[in-house]
Amino acid sequence: MNDKHPSNQPERPSTQIRWRHRLWIALSMLLLVSGWVQAAEESTTLNSITPIGVVQVAGEPLIAKITPDIADGDTAEPIAAPRPSRSDYPNIGVSSRAIVWILAQLHLFFAALVLAVPLFVLMIELLGVYTGDERYDNMAYEFMKISLTGFSITAIFGGSLALALFVLYPDFMGYMMHVFGAQVLVYAIFFFLESFFLYTYYYGWNAFRYGNLKWVHLSLGLMLNASGLTIMVLANSWATFMMAPSGVNEVGAVVGNIWEIMKGPLWNPINLHRFIANIAFGGAVVGAYAAFKFLSTNDPVRRAHYDWMGYTSNFIAILAFLPLPFAGYWLMAEIYAYSQQMGITAMGGILAWLFIVQAVLIGTILLAGNFYLWAGMSRTDGSDRYKGLIKYIAVVLVVCFLIWVTPHTLILSASEISLLGGSHHHILGPLGIMPAKNVAVNLMLVATFLSFQLYRRSDKVATVSWAPMGNALMVAIYVVAIVNIIFLGVYYGYFTNTVYKVGSSVVQVASTLVVIIAGIILDTLMFRNAKTLPSHWGRIPDRAQYALFALPIAFTWLMGLMGYVRSSVKTHWHVYTVMKDNSPDNFIPTIAYAGNMITIVTVLFLLCVLFMFWVANLSSTRQAKPAAGGAV
């Protein structure tokens, strides 16, 4: 992750220890991945698209209607979902939806943060063990210290949310408890387990620091992450059940077991999307902490430390952010596959405008992330070789950003339509549809990876004999991939039928991934035993730190926005097609109202984060002892 910190190189661990690292990593990966793989294997497409009623897939035989699993002689009737009337919803004088909205979103923000931080903390700690460099260990500990208060805040908002839901939506919560039953208790058990592993992991950091005890500590961290991830996927199943119910019949009566209820068609896409997004979000938030600490000190040693910490945070945020659009694409594809109506509500109806706002926010994130990398190049003397390329990358980013934010359908008056010559602008109109936006997004990601690659190369000189060939191949991959992405978008997007238009977007994604994977592999091989040029941590303009502040603000707003879209696609249903929402708030609010709500939640979260940072600082502050006889 970081090979530029100016210091003496630590001793390499012995072969025996390295094998122990590998064995530990292999076992850890096996533990974390096995559950998910099993879920993915069992969750076939056919099962996923038969949540309720009788369904027939084109070209496939009729799928048998799901029937209740009732033992012989058992005449118990499955209980249908309740149908509450308006009067069944308690009226407390303010919008129940607004209360739940704020509490749920704040809970999710903090949950995302406290799930993500231990993930990359464990990776950094492991890196410290592998390299034998204690600074990694210290940084990982500091990341944990920052986020520790966040665990309590998450629990407070989670408890408040549960309370608000039971009070304000009793029938709905009664139905959810009936459907999920004992699974909710499993959630509670994992919550206790997570707390146990959190406190032993954090408070045992210095007690289990060296030798075999370090492996005990790493295992505690692994169990902390396993507990956190299990909590996340359990909670995700509630949200995805509301969007795409499975394991129940057309009236909401439970006809499947808990596993069939959980493994709905949207469960794994949401699991993956949230997992990646949480890491990006967590990286961005702790990056802001590092920026704040960097700006608030003049001590060169501390500035170097927090510069390094900020760089690491930005690295985590941007690296996790790069594959995020593809996970989002999978989620939207599954939403369309489950219900075209739901997909169209999201991307073709009132919510479509929010995707333009999303483009603005993602553009902000990419511009801020790139700017930070460009500014960070000033740390190394070798970066002069690449600085000339920055202006071209900036042009690509800005042009693509403008294409991405170009709307398709404008809300116009008659006179405006007359002036425009139609409902769509004759030049900009074609830029408003998905093929143009797919080109723009993929080129922005390729450009961001190029910035990242140039930054990584800026303090190195390759010494392998085939370096010119390697560079030529990298340039060729970039050029051909960019041409391919544009060709696929323009040709299939505008000159063939819709099926090819949609299919070509997958090839665009593949092209972008090829650039990223090829870049990582080529650079790893080319810069093995490379000559390292001097770099100076702390030598970065102060304005670069403001990019680190921009990232968490944009990420938070974006999560609030897209979380609202995800929840709103259910329209007037508590549980889509199964349990209607008859509360006074059973409508999609105006964009302005939603925007205000998301802004309020974002500001509240940022205030809570400031409190969290302040508390983290407080623990390392010691009041000077008053002089004897002096005023206290």
Partner 1 sequence: MQTNDKNSTLSMLISIIVSFAIALTFFYGLDHLVMSMQGLPLNPDLSPAG
Q: Which residues bind partner 1 (CB under 8 A)?
A: 468-469, 472-473, 475-477, 479-481, 484, 488, 491-492, 496-497, 499-500, 503-504, 506-507, 510-511, 514
Task: Give the residue carrying structure tokens 């799928």.
Answer: 63
Determine the Cα angle at 385 with ends 471 and 8, to 5°.
95
Min dist CB 272 to partner 1, Å, is 20
Minimum distance from residue 341 beta carbon to partner 1 (Å): 23
Query: How is residue 66 annotated by DSSP?
Result: P
Q: For residue 580, what is the enclosing H or E element?
A: strand 579-580
**Which of 262, 482 has the CB closer to partner 1?**
482
- Residue 531 and residue 457 in contact, taking contact as beta carbons nearer than 8 Å: no
| Residue 64 CB coordination number (10 Å) | 8
* Alpha-carbon span 52 to 578, nearest angstrom: 9
Q: Which residue is listed with tokens 């910035």? A: 451
Residue 323 C-beta: closest distance to partner 1, Å: 17
Residue 212, both tokens: 């075999």
The single-letter DSSP state of residue 490 is: I
- Return all residues near 147 (Cβ < 8 A) that are at least 6 apart: 113, 114, 117, 118, 282, 286, 612
Contacts of residue 179, defined as CB under 8 A and 6 or more positions apart, other chains included, come to: 241, 247, 248, 254, 261
Q: CB of residue 616 vs partner 1: minimum separation in angstroms?
A: 47
Q: Tell me the closest approach of the beta carbon of residue 491 to partner 1, in angstroms.
A: 8
Reference 354, options 589, 59, 192, 164; nearest CA is 589
Indicate the residue among 240 and 511 with the shorter CB distance to partner 1: 511
Name which of 356 and 510 has its Cβ closer to partner 1: 510
Nearest approach in angstroms of CB 464 to partner 1 is 14
Q: Least Å distance between CB 508 and partner 1?
A: 9
Smallest separation (angstroms) from partner 1 to the CB of 511 = 7
Report the first-to-last Cα separation within the chain, whole angstroms: 47
Q: Is the distance from CB of 311 to CB of 284 less than 8 angstroms?
A: no
Q: 């940022």: which residue's tokens?
A: 606
- When the beta carbons of 213 and 475 are compared against partner 1, the nearer one is 475
| Residue 477 C-beta: closest distance to partner 1, Å | 5
Helix ranges (H only) for 169-266 are 170-180, 183-203, 211-243, 258-262
Q: Which is nearer to partner 1, 46 or 476 (CB)?
A: 476
Cβ atoms 82, 174 nearer than 8 A? yes
In the bound state with partner 1, the residue whose beta carbon lies nearer, of 497 and 529, is: 497
Give rounded-to-5 percent helix, strand, coil for the chain. 70, 0, 25
Nearer to partner 1, 17 or 476 (CB): 476
Comparing CB distances to partner 1, the nearer of 189 and 472 is: 472
Beta carbon nearer to partner 1, 466 or 593: 466
